[in-house]
């Protein structure tokens, strides 16, 4: 049982590590954040004894909420020698050891132990970002003897009845002769999935008794539907961590057919797939095996006004097609296939495809890359195991781009109401889109306009949902100004500084491959991003235009962050969290700066910006004031020519600081202080 669950959820799990122990005073005075609100908490401490030994709480102590004692799950589980895993996607916590796996879903009274559902009187909850379990639920879930010693405010935990282990299904050496089906309903209790997307794609549904009757019901090619007769299920209603590119989810539902319970199991597929369904010898398992299609043909040919790629395979491909620029490329990714075709593809005689390559992109994805020329477009389709992709000349017309002024001119062939143009600035993703209501394909065509200067990489004109979308793939952050002239419509890619009076570049430190520091279960890149996004929100409608270096878990190079600041911003503010490693006492807030050679006292300097930031943060956040510090070794500060500061919000290595910054409310307080400091700098000082 437990193996199945581990496999099922391991991929989607993030584990926070608790690093330090804190001894709490007899009185606990702290803010508890739950149900979306802060609740001041002031009460005597609650102790936990396990087999007579007192347990030291980590960052989150046991507390009493609404008359119920709730305990930090990770602390108890670890003390009992269990592993704890958290699945963010499903909001489920798993406590497991060699004998059992228990799953708790936040806010739900239903838990699953060894695949069997049980009901708790109160659900698991999150307090200060920690999963907390009521004592009763814990006793029920882990089969523990738990008593409450009121005078000493102590929870006594002793291992009680050992948890029940499900019987391991055995595969008999000789097939058993089917006997008359029992009238008692069978229980479907386990779904096993592949260990990874690259492992053989075998899925198993398992019951406690032989499955004598099941039907495969055809609905469409996108799913497999199995109805198991006279059965009930204890499977989770939806399993999405399938470790598969073929099966995207497994769903179960229960229904009744003439008084007989029927368990329906649905496998959602990523397209039509070739599969076989068998049963184990003891008939307790239904086994679905998917074949990996084999690519047996890849060809390129010229058909006059187009070049054509054909990929043939023994089964459905489920290809994904995307583009890359510099040079312009079309990328075809085919998951879960084998290929018998060589890597070399000749582009001789082709008009629009300049080069072509194939190979395994990663362990399970076969990739075809086509380098294409200027002004090309493509379309593709997949049918019956054959993918065809056609590359032809772009049909763009009646528009032009001036690389000096960075203005796109749409000739006035058909009138456009420029007030109705919708703007979508996705600068962190490298593009900006303008949507013109209405279909202008007959006027401007569609396709890619290659530019390749400092400001613009290329411009893609397309029609979607009856609207015309102009996507500017940028080499620099820009704001777009549309105006009507005698020539038509001009869309100018402007430096934000030419459009806005005050521009700040907010930088969430680290990201992606670079987690930064960590401590007390918190990771710097995540907290920095969370705070930076909150600052961005605070500055909406403030008169300060905000750009971000990142708004997701990605890593832009530090040199690029500094370069962007210099290109488009009046000020750069970089958000970080500090650490003193194993020294858990160091705490507080500091703001780092570097003196830039072009700075002088008549304008805002990095030092002045740091001082304003530091005083605002200390006032609002109440942390230890470590002051402003000149740093000569940081790329972000050295690479900038505009005033730039780096905020070390507080220490993740210090339990007190860490608990503060872990709460969303405190992050709001920090963000508001940073936003206030930024507006102060820009209002009170000359910035240009």
Provide the binding-site residues for Zn ion, judged by CB under 5 A: 509, 516, 576
* Residue 548 beta carbon to Zn ion: minimum distance, rounded to whole angstroms: 16
Residue 58 CB, nearest approach to Zn ion (Å): 23
Q: How far is the CB of 524 from Zn ion (least distance, A)?
A: 5
Q: What is the dihedral of CA 202, 208, 211, 215, to 10 degrees?
A: -60
Compare residues 636 and 682 and give the one whose CB is closer to Zn ion. 636
- Shortest distance (Å) from residue 509 CB to Zn ion: 4
Nearer to Zn ion, 550 or 576 (CB): 576
Collapse the DSSP code of 247 into the 3-class scheme (helix H, G, I; strand E, B; otherwise coil) and give the result: strand
Strands 92-96 and 101-105: antiparallel
Q: Which of 90, 82, 84 is nearest to 106 (CA)?
A: 90
Closest CB 652 distance from Zn ion, rounded Å: 10
Could you tell me if 475 and 456 are in contact, meaning their C-beta atoms sit under 8 angstroms apart? yes
Long-range contacts of 377-384 (CB under 8 A, 24+ apart): 377/446, 377/447, 377/448, 378/321, 378/330, 380/319, 380/321, 380/332, 382/316, 382/317, 382/318, 382/319, 384/316
Q: Which is nearer to Zn ion, 309 or 575 (CB)?
A: 575
> Which residue's CB is nearer to Zn ion, number 252 or number 579?
579
* DSSP assignment letter at 601: T
Min CB(576)–Zn ion separation in Å? 3
We find the least distance from the C-beta atom of residue 649 to Zn ion, in angstroms, to be 10
Name 304's Cβ contacts closer than 8 Å, sequence gap at least 6.
none
- Minimum distance from CB of 523 to Zn ion (Å)? 11
Question: Minimum CB separation from Zn ion for residue 646, in Å?
Answer: 8
| Sequence-separated (6 or more) residues with CB below 8 Å from residue 136 | 68, 120, 121, 122, 146
CB of 678 vs Zn ion, minimal distance in Å: 19
398-to-401, 414, 487, 492 alpha-carbon distances in Å: 11, 11, 11, 17
Give residue number: closest CB to Zn ion.
576
Question: Do 335 and 346 contact (CB within 8 A), yes or no?
Answer: no
Q: 18, 58 in Cβ contact below 8 A?
A: yes
Smallest gap from Cβ 525 to Zn ion, in A, equals 8
Question: Which CB atom, from 447 or from 516, has the smaller least distance to Zn ion?
Answer: 516
Nearer to Zn ion (CB atom), residue 496 or residue 509? 509
Q: Which is nearer to Zn ion, 534 or 576 (CB)?
A: 576
Q: Please, which residue, 555 or 685, has the CB nearer to Zn ion?
A: 555
Q: How far is the CB of 56 from Zn ion (least distance, A)?
A: 30
The answer to whether the CB of 124 falls within 8 A of the CB of 93 is: yes
Cis ω before 327 (30° cut-off from 0): yes
User: 3-class SS at 138?
Assistant: helix
Order of all β-strands in the sheet with 447-450: 422-426, 431-436, 467-474, 456-464, 447-450
Which C-beta is closer to Zn ion: that of 72 or that of 516? 516
The C-alpha R_g of the chain, in whole angstroms, comes to 31
If the CB atoms of residues 317 and 575 are measured against Zn ion, the closer one turns out to be 575
Closest listed residue to residue 507, CA positions, set 638, 634, 644, 631: 644
> Which residue, 440 or 621, is less far from Zn ion as judged by CB?
621
Question: 3-class DSSP state for residue 558?
Answer: helix
Considering the complex, state which of residue 315 and residue 516 has its C-beta at the smaller distance from Zn ion.
516
Chain length of the chain: 688
Q: Residue 384: how many CB atoms within 10 A of its CB?
A: 9
């Amino acid at each position: 049982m437990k193996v199945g669950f581990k496999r099922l959820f391991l991929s989607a799990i993030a584990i926070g590590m608790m690093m330090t122990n804190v001894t709490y005073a007899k009185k606990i005075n702290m803010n508890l954040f739950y149900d979306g609100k802060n609740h001041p908490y002031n009460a005597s401490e609650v102790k936990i004894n396990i087999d007579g030994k007192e347990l030291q709480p980590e960052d989150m102590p046991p507390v009493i909420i609404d008359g119920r004692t709730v305990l930090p799950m990770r602390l108890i589980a670890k003390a009992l020698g269990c592993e704890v895993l958290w699945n963010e996607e499903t909001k489920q916590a798993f406590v497991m050891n060699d004998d059992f796996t228990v799953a708790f879903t936040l806010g739900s009274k239903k838990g699953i132990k060894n695949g069997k559902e049980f009901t708790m009187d109160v659900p698991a909850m999150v307090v200060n970002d920690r999963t907390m379990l009521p004592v009763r639920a814990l006793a029920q879930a882990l089969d523990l003897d738990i008593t409450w010693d009121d005078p000493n405010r102590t929870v006594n935990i002793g291992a009680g009845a050992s948890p029940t282990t499900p019987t391991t299904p055995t595969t008999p050496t000789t097939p058993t002769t089917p006997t008359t089906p029992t009238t008692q309903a069978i229980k479907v209790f386990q779904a096993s999935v592949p260990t990874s997307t690259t492992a053989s794609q075998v899925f198993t549904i398992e019951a406690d008794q032989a499955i004598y009757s099941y039907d495969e019901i055809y609905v469409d090619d996108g799913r497999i539907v199995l109805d198991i007769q006279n059965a009930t299920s204890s499977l989770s209603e939806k399993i999405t961590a399938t470790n598969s590119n073929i099966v995207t989810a497994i769903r179960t539902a229960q229904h009744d057919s003439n008084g007989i319970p029927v368990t329906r199991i649905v496998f959602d597929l990523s397209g039509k797939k070739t599969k076989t369904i068998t049963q184990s010898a003891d008939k307790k398992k239904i086994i679905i095996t998917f074949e990996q299609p084999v690519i047996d043909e890849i060809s390129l040919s010229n058909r006059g006004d187009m070049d054509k790629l054909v990929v043939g395979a023994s089964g459905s491909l489920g290809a994904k097609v995307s583009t890359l620029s510099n040079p312009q490329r079309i990328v075809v990714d085919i998951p879960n296939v084998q290929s018998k075709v060589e890597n070399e593809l000749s582009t001789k005689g082709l008009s629009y495809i300049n080069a072509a390559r194939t190979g395994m992109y990663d362990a399970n994805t076969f990739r075809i890359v086509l380098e294409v020329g200027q002004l090309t477009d493509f379309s593709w389709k997949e049918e019956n195991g054959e993918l065809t992709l056609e590359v032809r000349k772009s049909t763009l017309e009646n528009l032009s781009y001036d690389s000096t002024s960075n203005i796109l001119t749409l000739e006035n062939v058909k009138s456009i109401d420029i007030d109705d143009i919708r703007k979508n600035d996705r600068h962190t993703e490298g593009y900006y889109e303008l949507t013109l209501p209405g279909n202008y394909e007959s006027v401007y065509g569609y396709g890619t306009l290659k530019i390749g200067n400092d400001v613009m990489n290329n411009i893609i004109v397309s029609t979607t949902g009856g609207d015309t979308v102009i996507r500017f793939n940028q080499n620099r952050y820009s704001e777009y100004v549309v105006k009507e002239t005698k020539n038509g419509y001009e869309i100018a890619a402007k430096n934000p500084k030419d459009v806005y009076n005050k521009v700040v570049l907010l930088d969430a430190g680290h990201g992606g491959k670079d987690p930064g520091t960590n401590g007390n279960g918190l990771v710097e890149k995540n907290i920095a991003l969370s705070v930076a996004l909150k600052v961005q929100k605070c500055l909406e409608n403030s008169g300060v235009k905000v750009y971000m270096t990142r708004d997701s878990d990605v890593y832009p190079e530090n040199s690029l962050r500094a370069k962007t600041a210099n290109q488009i911003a009046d000020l750069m503010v970089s958000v970080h969290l500090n650490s003193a490693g194993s020294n858990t006492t160091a705490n507080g807030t500091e703001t780092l700066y570097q003196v830039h050679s072009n700075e002088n006292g008549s304008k805002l300097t990095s030092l002045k910006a740091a001082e304003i930031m530091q005083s605002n943060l200390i006032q609002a956040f109440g942390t230890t004031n470590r002051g402003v510090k000149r740093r000569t070794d940081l790329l972000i500060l050295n690479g900038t020519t505009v005033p730039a500061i780096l905020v070390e919000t507080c220490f993740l290595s210090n339990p007190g600081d860490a608990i503060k910054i872990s709460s969303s409310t405190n992050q709001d307080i920090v963000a508001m202080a940073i936003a206030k400091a930024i507006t102060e700098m820009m209002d009170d000082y000359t910035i240009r």
